[in-house]
């Protein structure tokens, strides 16, 4: 992109014209009483860090959240649409929406606009029908329920770790450690992930938020 100053055209730097991207690490995992999910907090514009403390865990219903990666503008707009539709359904039926309904609305929006959007979503939450659930929606709009899901640019570094570490029947505390360790490992390797780790535990009683500051992240061999 060219800008003009004093009638002299020059090429604008990438950090000034690049799209805001939540190049990121997001993750969610089911446990017996609900779900645990987490994300880093870095938002980048090209190679420039635009925001170090972004909240990528977005509430779309009372007990349903989504983790966002891709274009910040696209994912925020999609989450706003889903929240609107879920509020509308709840007002019409006088019942809380289910996690599956929320994930299918995400899928509809992402799939039908797949050529115009850059959005990868993890939809997770709790409902009285199926308890805690995690749905993974990668680029393109596919929607699959999984016991745990990872996404974003940092996820490519931790597939092996997650496959080796995940065990069925983990407790809430084990899931919190699983998510925190995985996101920290991704942040260590991925230049587009960083900042702090935001965690949340969602059960039938509501959502409990936790934060791990950047100077207290889990460390491994590199400590």
Supply the residues annotated as catalytic. Answer: 24
Q: Which of 88, 84, 87, 78 is nearest to 111 (CA)?
A: 78
The pair of structure tokens assigned to 202 is 């969602």
- CA dist 187 and 83 (Å) reads 29
> Directed axis angle between helix 99-112 and helix 72-93, to 10°?
130
Residue 64: Cβ-neighbour burial (10 angstroms; 0-12, 13-18, 19+): buried
> Is the CB of residue 147 less than 8 Å from the CB of residue 134?
yes
The pair of structure tokens assigned to 1 is 């992109």
Residue 22 three-state SS: coil
The pair of structure tokens assigned to 153 is 């640019």
- CA dist 169 and 30 (Å) reads 9
Sequence-ordered alpha helix ranges (H) in 143-207: 159-165, 172-189
- CA dist 57 and 103 (Å) reads 15
The pair of structure tokens assigned to 80 is 């706003």
């Amino acid at each position: 992109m060219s800008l003009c100053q004093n009638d002299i055209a020059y090429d604008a730097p990438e950090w000034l014209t690049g799209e805001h991207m939540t190049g990121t690490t997001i993750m969610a995992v089911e446990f017996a009483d609900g779900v645990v999910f987490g994300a880093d907090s870095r938002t980048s514009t090209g190679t420039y860090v635009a925001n170090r403390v972004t909240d990528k865990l977005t509430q779309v219903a009372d007990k349903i959240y989504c983790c966002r990666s891709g274009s910040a503008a696209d994912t925020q707009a999609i989450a706003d649409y889903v929240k609107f539709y879920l509020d509308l359904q709840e007002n019409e039926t006088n019942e809380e929406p289910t996690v599956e309904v929320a994930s299918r609305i995400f899928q509809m929006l992402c799939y039908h606009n797949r050529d115009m959007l850059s959005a990868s979503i993890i939809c997770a939450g709790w409902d009285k029908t199926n308890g805690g659930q995690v749905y993974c929606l990668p680029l393109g709009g596919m929607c699959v329920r999984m016991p745990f899901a990872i996404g974003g640019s940092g996820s490519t570094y931790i597939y092996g770790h997650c496959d080796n570490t995940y065990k069925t029947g983990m407790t809430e505390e084990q899931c919190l450690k699983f998510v925190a360790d995985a996101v920290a490992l991704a942040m260590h390797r991925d230049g587009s992930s960083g900042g702090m780790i935001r965690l949340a535990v969602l059960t039938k009683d509501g959502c409990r938020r936790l934060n791990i500051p950047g100077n207290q992240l889990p460390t491994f061999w590199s400590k």
